[in-house]
Amino acid sequence: MLVGVVGKPNVGKSTFFAAATMKDVPIADFPFTTIQPNVGVAHIKTKCVCREMGVTDTPRNSACVNGTRLVPVKIVDVAGLVEGASKGKGLGNQFLDDIRQADALIQVVDASGSTDLEGRKVPPGSHDPLEDVAMVEHEFDLWMFGILKRDWEKATRSLEQTGGKVVDHLAERLSGLSVSYGDVEQVILHLHLRTEKPSSWTDDQLMQFAVETRRLTKPSLVAANKADLPSSPANIEALRKTGRKVVPCASEAELLLRKAAEHGLVEYAPGDPSFAPKDPQKLSPAQANALRMVDEKVMKAYGGTGVQDAINQAFFDLLSAIVVFPVEDETRLTDKDGRVLPDAFILKGGSTALDLARTVHSELAETFLYAIDARTGKRLGADHKLSNRDVVKIVSSGKRG
């Protein structure tokens, strides 16, 4: 699973990314600072099963902090998108190509309204961030429309002559965008499009198809960034009124707190609603002042920086993700080296025991026999849908074929 961090230029996408991954990436207050995408590892936070199962765990692929599991997830920060990008403006389609594989999107906006539609600095509050959200979505739709429209007439004529299926054609065209055959079917059904005569679809209908396909396959939330600035709260309210999922964010504050924690200056973990200076005497006046501002403008105002929240919501709410703990010994909850609850994997909602096997190791999937639920000792078949926080042993024959 991959989540893309998108938005117009200069809104704080890379700051959000850096705060979430602690990767050092270029950040600056002008548009198009990022050109090549940044890929990194963030963590989602979820309640670990160690306490419930009465064990002390020794995690390997993840971390357990006071009963909270931090599970690695991949995110990608891309170049800013401007109006006309689908026709080559700004950095053009480059941005869109970089998020093809994303399963969900975090759209970062400058909630303070201090950057115009192209990301240039303007007086705070003078630009309406609602315009940015609509622009980014529309550009995405135009891009998908463009991919489909390119050879639409020729392709549909040929489909009608040979008896080919338009669903196959669309799924094939969009396969690189993480759009499945089932997704295409669902959208066509929803829009009541005539599959027997696709050549009769109007441009409006094809565009509508792009809009609905985006909504289904690239669910998104708005990270209302720069929430610490005075002009932000009113815009955050307005963004919420559109019915979108909105998470107020202060990425810069998160980055500052994480760095301060790394240097031992404060007690803080991502997602915490507050922080505490470890030794106030050690702080320089500038550091003390910066932390006081963060406390006042972010922690007290919003109950946290929102960065961890946005990541958690992208995976758990938009993608209905589940976290599953595979083990080799279902009574001791260990792997072959005796590590207790070594791994936690994040899977799409609806994933099966066989999907888990595939995630652990392709060979395990090829020789899969059945799985065992460590809580109940019950056998689970390949198609058994797993639940969040399941602890599962996979039994395989070890022999291919």
Ligand X SMILES: Nc1nc2c(ncn2[C@@H]2O[C@H](COP(=O)(O)OP(=O)(O)OP(=O)(O)O)[C@@H](O)[C@H]2O)c(=O)[nH]1
Residues in touch with ligand X (CB under 6 A): 7, 9-15, 27-29, 31-34, 80, 225-226, 228-229, 250-253
In DSSP terms, 182 is beta-bridged to none
Q: How far is the CB of 14 from Mg ion (least distance, A)?
A: 3
- Tell me phi and psi for residue 219, to 5 degrees: -60, 145
Q: How far is the CB of 275 from ligand X (least distance, A)?
A: 16
Return the number of the residue (217 or 225) whose C-beta is nearest Mg ion: 225
Q: How far is the CB of 209 from ligand X (least distance, A)?
A: 29
Return the number of the residue (80 or 270) whose C-beta is nearest Mg ion: 80
Binding at 393: pick from Mg ion, ligand X, none (beta carbon under 5-8 Å per type): none
Between β-strands 68-77 and 2-6, what pairing exists: parallel, antiparallel or unpaired?
parallel
Query: Is 269 buried (19+), middle (13-18) or exposed (0-12) by CB count in 10 A?
Result: middle
The answer to whether 394 and 371 are in contact (CB under 8 A) is: yes
Return the number of the residue (127 or 393) whose C-beta is nearest ligand X: 127
Q: How far is the CB of 4 from Mg ion (least distance, A)?
A: 13
Return the number of the residue (17 or 345) whose C-beta is nearest Mg ion: 17
Q: How far is the CB of 305 from Mg ion (least distance, A)?
A: 18
d(CA 303, CA 362): 42
- Tell me phi and psi for residue 23, to 5 degrees: -90, 140
Binding at 217: pick from ligand X, Mg ion, none (beta carbon under 5-8 Å per type): none
Residues 28-87 that bind Mg ion (CB under 5 A): 33-34
d(CA 111, CA 229): 8
In DSSP terms, 13 is beta-bridged to none
Q: How far is the CB of 138 from ligand X (least distance, A)?
A: 18
Establish if 14 lies at the interface with Mg ion (CB under 5 A).
Answer: yes
CA atoms within 13 A on the CB side of 337: 8
Q: Which residues of 271-290 are buried (b: 16+ CB within 10 A; e: fewer)?
A: bbeebebbeeeebeeebeeb
Q: Give the count of residues interacting with Mg ion (CB under 5 A).
A: 4
Helices (H), 99-179: 129-149, 152-162, 166-173
Return the number of the residue (26 or 303) whose C-beta is nearest Mg ion: 26
Binding at 28: pick from Mg ion, ligand X, none (beta carbon under 5-8 Å per type): ligand X
Binding at 226: pick from Mg ion, ligand X, none (beta carbon under 5-8 Å per type): ligand X
Return the number of the residue (308 or 334) whose C-beta is nearest ligand X: 308
Q: How far is the CB of 228 from ligand X (least distance, A)?
A: 5
The answer to whether 290 and 299 are in contact (CB under 8 A) is: no
The answer to whether 285 and 341 are in contact (CB under 8 A) is: no
Binding at 57: pick from ligand X, Mg ion, none (beta carbon under 5-8 Å per type): none
- The span of 14-22, 66-74, 210-218, 273-281 binding Mg ion (CB under 5 A) equals 14-22
Angle between helices 181-191 and 166-173 (to 10 degrees): 120
Q: How far is the CB of 129 from ligand X (least distance, A)?
A: 13
Q: How far is the CB of 249 from Mg ion (least distance, A)?
A: 15
Binding at 15: pick from Mg ion, ligand X, none (beta carbon under 5-8 Å per type): ligand X
Return the number of the residue (27 or 142) whose C-beta is nearest ligand X: 27
d(CA 250, CA 293): 12
Return the number of the residue (33 or 388) whose C-beta is nearest Mg ion: 33
Q: Which residue is nearest to Mg ion (CB)?
A: 34
Residues 6 or more apart from 139 whose CB is under 8 A from it? 81, 82, 83, 84, 85, 86, 96
Return the number of the residue (81 or 364) whose C-beta is nearest Mg ion: 81
Summarize as ranges the residues that interact with Mg ion (CB under 5 A): 13-14, 33-34
